[in-house]
Every structure is written in structure tokens, then in C-alpha cells.
Chains A and B, each alone.
Chain A
Amino acid sequence: MFKINILLALLRASALVGALIIIDALSELGTSVLALACTILISVFIATRLSYSNIRTQAILAAALLYWLLQLGFLKLLELLPFAAERSLDPFLFGLHLELISIVFLGALLSTVLVQRYILCVTIELFALLSVTVYLVSAHRNYQLDSPQALNSVAWFFGRSPQSILIIFAGSAVLATICYAVLSSWSARVIQISKLPALDNQPSTKRSLASSLALFSLLLTVALSGLIINRSYNVENGILSNGVGQSNKEGTSPLNPNSSMGRSNEPTALVRLEGDYKQNPFSPMLYLREAAQSKLQGNMYVVAAPTFDADVSNSDPRSPYTGQIDPDISSIDAAQSNHRVEVVQSIYLLSDQNVAFAIDYPTKIRQLINPDPNRFKMAFRAYSLAPTFKLQELSGLQVGDPRWTQEVKKHYLEVHSDPRYNIKALDITSGINDPISKAFAITKSLSKNSIYTLKPNHDFKPDEDPIAPYLFGDMRGYCVHFSTAIVHMLRSLGIPARVATGYLTDLSEAKDGHILLRMSDRHAWAEAYISKRGWVPFDIQPEQVESAIDVPVDMGILEELMNKLEPGEEILPKELIDDESVFEPEKWIPEIHPAHLALFVVTVLTILILFKLYLLYGYRLARTPVAKLKAAYRSLLSEILDLGLDRLDSETRTEHAFRSESRLGLKMQLLAEPLSQAIYGSRDPKNISDINIEELRFKARSELNTISPWRRILAFFNPRSILALIKRRW
């Protein structure tokens, strides 16, 4: 029985200490975790002992309140101490630590006592835990399986997708909750104070209690692990589409009016620029194109036959690709102009990608050796002829390519059947003659009037135009709406245009030329063909935003991945800075600050004093005369034990009383006799109430007052009686 109690206390204490460590990792507590962990340990053990005693819960609550008051008084006393003026706030700072320790102590103590005594409290605790779990998991609603590094690391380690890890995580939480609920609902589990002795004969009850507490620990750990994941990383709402990357089989990109790709922070690739690209006309933004959709099919654009959009690779990243260099738009062969520059990029995929993407436009794609198959799906290098022209210098140039056949021209100028696109385009561009200025006017107008939202909630049937409710309605939408509307309008004005998909990333969030692409960087934008320049993005930046767009790049992930690629890994010896003190991992055991140690000592002393007070005067709280007599006897017993006179295992009360009298002159028999009579039935327990226990105790211990005060003070701080109480020797 005793061992089971210890085991239960240990389980609960470990769960609470685990929770404490996790909370400290999330938000530094400021007080030594070691001191707090010891507090929990002591608190749970005291609570367990109290739960199995016959002390009333009200008395425990009153003691807790008394403890709190004592602590406040102690702090007030500290304020009076003559600290040096410049350190006059030290008592206050000390008080902050003591306050936290007291909260932890009382929280652990009361919750343990209540959970062990009342089934209602088990229910409340279960409810609280479930609420925490639901709160944590709710961030992942709508299949939003974000990119916490820990989750991804686990996924990468086991070679599973983050989604499956999350499902396992949630499944375990649910299973643990069910088990806990079932076990906790066994009515016999709860300790009935009035039937305390019977408790010893209920081993099955104890087993269920042990199991439920073990599960409680598990559940708490799982819930708090989730809390770490959730709090430490940006988790936002959104919708994850069906896979990353455009699939040729699908015919359309996953980016469509029904799927915004959301704001998921899930990393999809790491791009490393192998050289500078200072002339980027869109700086600090960088477009990485994956596909072009130029064929108008119904209301939307889809990927056209391979004879069109030859500047897009449309190839699997694993297959080598060599594109044609268009001498008309390439600076490499056109010495008189510098409209393009060679930019080499190495791309390390973190998710499956069906089609290679690169900076506009790729001339060559080659697979690279995967530097870390545990992290990266694959790697490839793209050689692009990237634009260097200035956007402000485009005005006045011709649109379209004079080399195009009629069929190609018709393809890129096929207009939507709804005449309102043309009317709107004409309205925006009235008074402008230059086609490129018209294109800029359209993007400017849409930027000003559009409202960015991931959930436009437009009501349209499958055969209806999904863009019309945006452009001719509330102007709410996301990149698919914006780009398609621009292309519709440009084509209606005779400007060859198409929708491009891929990634749009902010170079100011890059480091050492390394860019972390995320699902939230998935983007669709409009492109118009400009003579001698090629396909040029015409993208909008909505001034009004309903769903926040920017989710900062997680620098931790970026650096971790960079370290996989950094040249040091290949060139530099691994042990180079292993002995560096500045890079030593954090010590698991926190450093013990002298003030915290002092705090711990004070806390232990306070608890000791409270225990002693309970032992000495707790008999006054007893409900029945027999219990009061027993507690008074125990009080005296504890006093002489601390003075060094133990009651031997085989010794009867009477024998011990005689020994005490001969050694210390105490009259223990005054209490031992009526107690033995009450226990062994020779005296009616009802008659006990006639005895003045207080007086008997006073008489019995009168000789103690003759002992030297120093010896008595030392005896007061002797913990032997507390240990005896915990061991339930009495």
C-alpha cells in the first residue's frame, strides 16, 4: 500500500515537473527550475500523505491559506531589513521567486489532494486537459499542417510526412484521453475519507489510480508538446491544397479559385543563389516560375500544348532539361543590350515537386547530388537568363513578337466571352495609348481597389466564371483572381498575356543567398509579352488586406538547412569548434544561483515548520474524541522522538511510557492508557469525550519544559518525526 502511494506520488510529480520544464522552455520562468521541481516533489508527497490521512479538506485549505499569509508576512519582514540603498529592491525580487514557488507549491498540493479525494475534481482536471488539447489541435484545423521544425524533424527522421506525424500525435492524445476518462470514472477509485481504513484492502482501486495517473502524465506531456510546437512556430489558418507543385496530369495548377494554398509556413524548397542578381527589376521580390497557363479553357487558363510557352521548362526536376536561348531577348547574344543576365540557382526540394521551377527563364536544368537525403527530397541546379531591364524603361515598347505565327498570336490573344472585361479595361486605360502603360494602369488600379483575402467566399456554380464575382463584385480575392482578371483584361486590349504560377519570395528574408520557399510563397501572376524583353510579370500588390499576407521566414529552419549545404561541411573538419565554450549546448541541469538556493532552503524550512506545527497542534483539528486522543498522543510521541527517544517496533505504549518516564520524567501513561483502552475496547469511546485531552497532554509533557531551550529548538528542526509520519509508523 505504502509503495503504491509513493509510486503514484512519483508519477504525478514527474508529470508536473515535465510540464514545468516545458513551460520554462516556452517562456522562461525566471526562477530556478530545480528549486521549482523540488517544490513540486515535496508538495505532491505532502499532498499524497494528506490525502490518505483523516484530516479534513477544509483544514488543508485553511493550512494553505495560512501558508500564504505567512509568506506575505515574511516578505513584509524582509522589507524592513537594512539592505544597502542600491540593492534595496532585492527583497522584492526575492519575493517574486518566493511567490512563484508558493504558487507552484500550493497549486501542486491542492490539485493533488483534490484529485485524489473528489471525483468531481478528476472530471474538472480532465475537462481542463481536454480543453488544452482541443485548443492546441484546433490551430491545425482545415488540414493546416504547418511547418513546426520539431514536427518536420520528427517527420524527416522517420521518413514520414508531417501530416502523418500530426495524425499520430492527435490520435495518441485522443486515446490517452479516453483511457483516462474510463479509468477515472471507476467509482471505487476515489478515496472516501470516512472509510479510510478500508482503503488498504482495495488493491484494484490503486492499480486503476496508478494507470490513470500514468495516462494523465502522458496526456499532459502530449498536450504540452503540442503547446511548444504551436507557440514556437507560426501557425496560421488556411487551406492546404492537394500537393505541392503543378502536375501535368491535372491539367490545371492546384492554385485555383477554390484553393488559395493558404498561409501555410511549410517549407517546400531551399534555393541557393550561386551568384549575385543585383539587376533584379522586381527587387526585393523574386519570381520563380514553374508553369505558364495560356490556353483559355472555359473561364480559366490552363497549360497549353508544348508548342506554346517554350520558355517554360515543364519538365520533371529529375530529368535534364535544355531550353532554347532566344537571341532576341537574351543579352548573352545581343551585345548591344543587357536585358538578361545569367543567374545560377541550386534548388533543394523539401517536398515532392512534379515540375522544376526557376527564375525566368531557365536554359538548363541538371540534377544535383542530394546533400542530405534525410532532409531533402532531391536537388537540381537551374541556369537562368534572368531579366535585368528596368520596368520604367518598358513604356513605348511593342507588345507581342513579330516572329509569331497567326496561330500563336491568336492563342495568346484569345479573349474571355464576357464583354465586361473589355469594358472595365477600357475604363481603366482611357486616355492611354501605349499598351505597356495600359498594362501598368490596370495593375495599379487593381492594386488600389482589390482586397486581399484567402477566403473570398464567392458563390458561383462550376460552369460560371469564378473571377467575375471578384472583378465586378466585391473586389475580394487572392492571386488567382488578380492574375486571371489582369490576363482577361490585357487580352481584351490586344496585349498577349498569360498566367504564370510558381513562387514569389522576398529576398530581404534571404541569408547568404539562401532563400527558404514555403507554401505561403506559392503565387500566380499575370505576364505580358513585350518585344525584345520576353514575358514580363504584371503583378499587383493589394493595398487593402483582409488576411495578413506576411508570415516571416523561420530563420531557425533556414539556418539549419543552410548548415546542410554550407561549404564548411565539405571543406572544414567537423571538430573545428567542438571545444568552443560559446557553442557548448545548454546544460540540462540549470545553474544554481545562490539566491535560489537560499530560497529553496527557506521553502524547505517553511514546509518543515508547517509540518511540525501540524504534528504538535494538529490534534485540535481532529473531528472525533478518539482521533483527537490519538493525535495528542502522536504529538507527544513526535516531540520525544525528536529529542532522541524512539518508540521501538516491538514496544507497547505502556512499555514506552515507562521508559519515557524513567529517561525524561514524562508521564506518557496519562495519554497512553486511555488511548489503549479506547482502541482495545475496554473503554467506551463515547466516554473519551469526558476526558480533557488538552489537560492530559499538558500534564504528560510538563517535564519537557525542564530540558534546555537549545536542545528543544534543535529538536524542533529535527525531521525524524516527519519521516516517521510519512512512513505511517503511527
Chain B
Amino acid sequence: MKKLITSIIISLSLTVSLAAQSLLSDATDPSTLFSEIDDSKKTAEELMAEARLLYFDQRYLDARTKLLKVLEKDPKNYSAMMFMAEYYLSQVGHFRLALKFIKQAQNLFEEKNGLPPYEEDLARNEHAMLLSLLSEIRLNLDDYEAALKILDQYGALYFQNWYPASRSWVLMKLGRLDEAIQVAKLGMLSGAEPGRTLNVLGILLSMTHQRKESIDVFNQAILYENARGESGQPATPLNNVGEVYRETFEEDKAEGSFLKALRMPDGCEHVLPSLNLQVLYLEQLKLKQAKAAIDNFEECVKRFPLKNGEEHRALVQLARGRIALQSGQIDSAVSLLESAIARRQWFGKIGTSEDDLFAGASVSLAQALLAQNSWLKTTIDANWVESVKNFSRRITNRLRSKWLKRRALQVLGEDLQHFEDLYIRNTDSMLEYYSLGDLFQNVPRSLFKRKVLNEVASDERKGASLYYQGYIAQNMIKNGSLKEGFELLEKTIELTREKEDAALRQHLETLKLALLDTNSEQYLNLATKVYSKNRSTIRNAGLLLPVSVGPSLSPDLLESSAFIFNSDSSFLLDWSNQEMKFSSSFDGTSFIQSGPNNYETLNKLAQKVFRSEVN
């Protein structure tokens, strides 16, 4: 939407700027505009023309300064006001200020031209642009009713090819989906701008579960945008089609779409493809790739310093926190997730909402706090002071975790339309579906089962049913139906796909592991398997890794540590030359730690053993 408005302004203003360029024949190089000519001697029109030039040269701060000078000279210059509004809307994201400027521009415009309709072309064009900016600003302020009213006013007076898409988008935001689909479809028949209209239509179709049709529509949008050459913006439909593929459990296609979107010129600064890619990789336990997706995004977005990163900061913190949690960097995960939950950000453009973020970040933070407890519990305390400190920390963490889960449930149930996000892979949701069972495990079994069975009845996707089964199994185990729950758990694990459902499988296997006798062979085998998939999982869940010990170490050393003695284990702990070594005959990895005493060394070694390198 923002880009659309910018393009409208660019097209409308280009003519004016060309005229301005002829006026400024001696100042066509924007770099010479400041020092050589004294602005105080210029007229408002000259300064306005310079501002346009600077703006199109992407020297936004210079343009802003010029526009302010225009307004100093001519406080009733509504064009400058509109320009300022556009600047604050598109370049800064300061919508409140943008609204102030556009409202003042509207007042001044009506003061000069009277109330609509207008007969003169110039007045009509300017008024149309004013309304489009106003509706866009309203939309960004999440004031959808007001945005729709302005669009109605616009529709009664003018028609531009962007109009159907905008109207359809606002209707979608207001939850009037059928009406929105109708507007988009009719728009396509009446000459609406295809790229954007198809995009909105595709989203609407996917929201109403017409996925096949949605993919077709997005593919048309991609073709259209590609055909536009350099001015095309294919990243958005590519990202959208990727989201639909992800919803239909076609992960390879989804990955391909997200990667393609990121390679497009308009894709890298857009947070969604990177976030989607990171989520996809995290679901497959590809931690390095997940981190790289976020790193690449942040590198790219540095090119837009004026925007200040507010549009994405909380989402990026959330993504980084989750990666840190999976890679065993627990303290860092807690601090990142706390930042994510504390930060507010604007969500208008990306479909998700503050409630989505809050729910997602709360669940992840609760998991991170419990993981921190597990790490503290499996750290050998150096002295009683540390024991007391760790104990109090664990109590605080447990209480906070309980509170966060409670709040997340409330938000999901009351603010997000009766757990709409329980629909697996709801693309707007910020939830991690593979471990969502943690949130629902304390819900009474009968109620939860009824709710999930109702979801299953309306969800024909086979891939989704695994997740639903997993939640029910976890809920059963937690609520006392151990045997039944265990059976369902095993059945679900068997059905998961090795690569695509890696994180879900790992989560379920950890649940299973917690139910097994730590001395059993089954525990040994499963623990070895889980550890080899991802090093931190076992310790995050508060479980112990079976290890054998070398002749120079006593198994008693392992008491209260993250390890448990098992002579058949593929992992060996040994001590030689003032160094403790952990080696795995399973995958050949080894870690070495030196230290003053066995306990401290063991603690430090355990930090390494259960941490995955993601850099």
C-alpha cells in the first residue's frame, strides 16, 4: 500500500519536478544545492521544486529541511503539507505527525478550493491524492472504519486503478471477507491495478481456505510483477504464495518462494520473507540457516536508516530469542524475548497484531524461563550462596512462566477470537506450533479435547492433524491419562516427517523421554538420538544425558549435573592432563575444558556440550 502511494505521488509529481528541473537549470546536481545559493533569497515555489528533486534523489532529510523552509515562507502551502505528510508516512513511519500534516493540508485545500466536487483537473488530482494519503495514514493508524469512509468518499468522486485493492484490504481488516473478495474480483474486471489487487485477492482466498485458488492468483500476481521489469515488485506475492505453501505443508515450495522473494530487489528489506524463512528453518531445526535469514535481513535493512527499524525490531528480537533458546544460549534467549515482549511496534502492514506478538513472545519467554530453570538445576552449585541464589531464581522463573502462559491463553482466547491461532500455521500468528502443546497442557482435558476435535473437523490437512494429536497427547500426559497419552505420543512420533517436522518430532520425543526410566536402554537410545539432532533440547527440558566415564573419573561426580552415568552410552567423559573431555562415538564430536576443579570444569564443559554453534 505504502509503495503504491509512493508510486502515485512519484507519477503525479514527476511532471511537476520536470518543470522544476527546467527552472533550476543551474542547479541540477542536488549536491550543489546548499552551499551555492542562499535559501532565504529563493521563493517558496523554487524551494518546493528543490525539495522534490532532493526527495527523488532519496535525500530525505535535505528535502524535509527544504519543505520546512517552504512552510516558513508560505504557511498555507498545502502541497508542501501533503509532501511532509507523505515523508512522515513513507520515510519515517511517524503516522501521527503525518495525519497532522494531511489534515492541515485538507483544511487549507478546502479553504482555497471549497468543498468537493471540483471541476478543474488540477484540483481534482490534488484532492484525489489528498484523500488517498489520508486513507493510507488512517490505515496505518489501524483506524479502519475511518479509512473506509475516506475510500467511500474517494470512490464517489474518482476512480484510480489502486482503489479496489485498497478498499478490499480495508474490508479485510474489518473482517468483511466475502465483501472484500467481491470488491477485488470486480476490481480485476474493471481495470484495477493487477499486482496489488491480485495480492489482496490471494490473501483473502487463503483466509477463506481456498488455497488452490489462492496459489493460482498469487502466481498470476508474480507473473504480472515480473513482466513489469525493474519497476515490478514480485517479492510480496512470492512471500504470500510461500505462506500458503507452508500452510499446506509443502515446505520445499515454501522455502523456494521465500528465497526467491529475498533475492528480489524489493524483498530484502521486507521483514516477512526473512521471518517466514526463519520460522521454516526453525521447524526443521536448521538453526544456522534460521540465524542467517535474520542476519541477512538486518544487514539489508541498515540501508534504510530513517525508518529506525521500528517496523520489525520486536519481531526480530522474537526470532533471535527463539534461535538462542534452541541453540542453548539461554540467558541470551531470555533477554531477547524480554525485549521482544516489551517493545511495541507498528503492525498495520504485515497482517499480524500486537496481540499476536504478545501471545507468541509470552509462550516463548515462558519456555525460555523454564529452560533456564532446567539449566540452573543441572548446574553444580559452587557454594550455598549460589544454591540459594539459584533456588530463588528458579522460583521466580517458575512463577513468571506460569503467569506468562496464563496471559498468553487469555489473549489467545479472548482477544484473538477464541483461539483462532490454534489453526496450525496460521500465517499471522507468531506462535511456534511445534511446542504449543506446552501452553495447552494445563487446560482441563475434556475441554481441550473438545476444542481440538472441533478444529480437526474443520481442518482437512493431514500435516496439521499431527500437531493436533501432539497437543492432545501432551495434555493427556499432563492430566493423568499417562498410558493413553503415551500411546498417542508414540503414534504421532511415528507419523512425523524426518526433515520437515524435525522440531515437532524433537518436542514429542523429549516428552516421551521424560516418561522413560533414565536407566533403561530405551532412554539411552532416545536421549542419544535427541541429543544428536539438537544439543540443547535435552537440557532445556530438564533431562539428563547418559554418559560413560573414563577410569580417572568417578560416576559420583555426575550427581546434580546435566549428565547421568550409563556405561553403555556413546558419550564418554574423561579427565586427563588437567582437562576434562566429552567425546561422542556417535558422531565423532568432542569438547574439552580445563579448570581448577572437577565440579567447575564439569559445569563449564556442560555449557559447551549442550550448546549449538549457530555462527
Residues of A within 8 A of B (CB): 27-28, 30, 79, 85-93, 96, 273-276, 278, 283-284, 332, 341-342, 507-513, 552, 555, 559, 566-568, 571-573, 576-577, 580-583
Q: Is the CB of A91 within 8 A of B68?
A: no
Query: Of the 9-residue stretches B188-196, B448-456, B466-474, which lies at the interface with chain A?
Result: B448-456
Pick from B302, B310, B409, B418: contact of A555, CB under 8 Å: B310
Q: Are B448 and A567 in contact (CB under 8 A)?
A: no
- Chain B residues with CB under 8 Å of A568's CB are 97, 100-101
**A278 vs B30: C-alpha distance in the bound complex, in angstroms?**
13
The verdict on A567 contacting B68 (CB below 8 Å), with A87-B418, A88-B454, A276-B62 known, is yes
Of B59, B84, B447, B448, most buried by chain A (CB within 10 Å of CB) is B447
The answer to whether B265 has its CB under 8 Å from any CB of chain A is: no
Partner of A507, one of B59, B305, B410: B305
A275 touches B447 (CB 8 A): no
In contact, A278 and B419 (Cβ under 8 angstroms): no
- Taken together as a complex, chains A and B put the C-alpha atoms of A566 and B448 apart, in Å, by 52
Q: Once the chains bind, are A508 and B305 in contact (CB under 8 Å)?
A: yes
Tell me the complex Cα distance, A581–B99, Å: 13
Q: Give Cα A497 to B478, complex, Å.
A: 67
Contact call A510/B305, Cβ cutoff below 8 A: yes
Residue-by-residue, is B49-71 near A (CB-CB < 8 Å gives 1, otherwise 0)?
00000000001111011001001
Could you tell me the distance between the alpha carbons of A332 and B35 in the complex, rounded to whole angstroms? 9
- How many residue pairs at the A-B interface have CB separations less than 8 Å? 123
Q: In the complex the two chains form, is A275's CB within 8 Å of B94's CB?
A: no
Give the nearest-CB partner of A277 in chain B: B61
**Across the interface, which residues of B come within 8 angstroms of A278, CB to CB?**
59
| B96 x A577 contact (CB < 8 A) | yes
Residues of A within 8 A of B59 (CB): 275-276, 278
Cα distance A341–B96 in the bound complex, in angstroms: 33
Q: Which of A30, A284, A509 has the most CB atoms of chain B within a 10 A radius of its CB? A: A30
Q: Which residues of A contact B61 (CB under 8 A)?
A: 273-276, 512-513
- If A508-B305, A582-B141 touch, does A92 touch B444 (CB 8 Å cutoff)? yes
B residues neighboring A (CB under 8 Å): 31, 34-35, 59-62, 64-65, 68, 71-72, 75, 84, 88, 91-92, 94, 96-97, 99-101, 103-104, 141-143, 146, 302, 305-306, 308-310, 339, 403, 406-407, 409-411, 413-414, 418-419, 443-444, 446-448, 450-451, 453-454
Residues of A within 8 A of B94 (CB): 511-512, 559
The answer for the CA separation of A284 and B298 in the assembled complex, in Å, is 12
Pick the contact of A96: B305, B306, B310, B409 (CB < 8 A). Answer: B409
CB distance from B17 to the nearest CB of A (A): 18
Chain A residues within 8 Å of B103, by CB: 576-577
Q: Contact at A79–B410, with CB atoms within 8 Å? A: no
- Shortest CB distance B104–A (Å): 5
Set of chain B residues within 8 Å of A332, measured between Cβ atoms: 35
Complex contact A275–B451 (CB within 8 A): no
B447 touches A89 (CB 8 A): yes
Q: Is the CB of B448 within 8 A of A89?
A: yes
B454 touches A85 (CB 8 A): yes
CA gap between A153 and B61 in the complex, in Å: 29
Q: What chain A residues lie within 8 Å of B75 (beta carbons)?
A: 571
Shortest distance between the CB of A546 and any CB in chain B (Å): 14
Contact between B410 and A30, CB atoms less than 8 A apart: yes
CB distance from B139 to the nearest CB of A (A): 11
Given A92-B443, A275-B62: A572 in contact with B100 (beta carbons within 8 A): yes
A507 nearest in chain B by CB position: B305
Query: By the criterion CB–CB under 8 Å, are A85 and B453 in contact?
Result: yes
Distance between Cα atoms of A669 and B555 in the complex (Å): 81
Given A566-B97, A568-B101, A88-B447 contact (CB < 8 Å): yes
* Neighbouring B residues of A284 by C-beta, 8 Å: 302, 305
**B35 contact from A91, A276, A342, A567, Cβ within 8 A:** A342
Given the complex, which residues of A lie within 8 Å of B34, measured CB to CB? 275, 342
Interface contact B99-A580, CB-CB below 8 Å: yes
Q: Is the CB of B453 within 8 A of A573?
A: no
The 5 closest A-B pairs by CB, nearest first: A85-B454, A88-B450, A30-B410, A276-B59, A511-B308
- The reply to whether B99 and A567 contact each other, CB–CB distance below 8 Å, is no
Distance in angstroms from A386 CB to nearest chain B CB is 13
Judge whether A552 and B339 touch: CB under 8 Å: yes
Q: In the complex, what distance in Å separates the CA atom of A79 from the CA atom of B411?
A: 20
Give which listed residue, A79, A96, A275, A559, contacts B406 with CB less than 8 A. A96
Partner pick for B418 among A89, A276, A507, A581, CB 8 A cutoff: A89
Question: Do A572 and B104 touch (CB < 8 A)?
Answer: yes
CB pairs A–B below 8 angstroms (26 shown): A30-B414, A79-B447, A85-B454, A88-B451, A89-B413, A89-B418, A91-B447, A92-B443, A96-B409, A275-B59, A275-B61, A275-B65, A276-B62, A283-B305, A332-B35, A507-B305, A508-B302, A508-B309, A511-B308, A512-B64, A512-B88, A513-B306, A566-B97, A572-B104, A580-B99, A582-B142
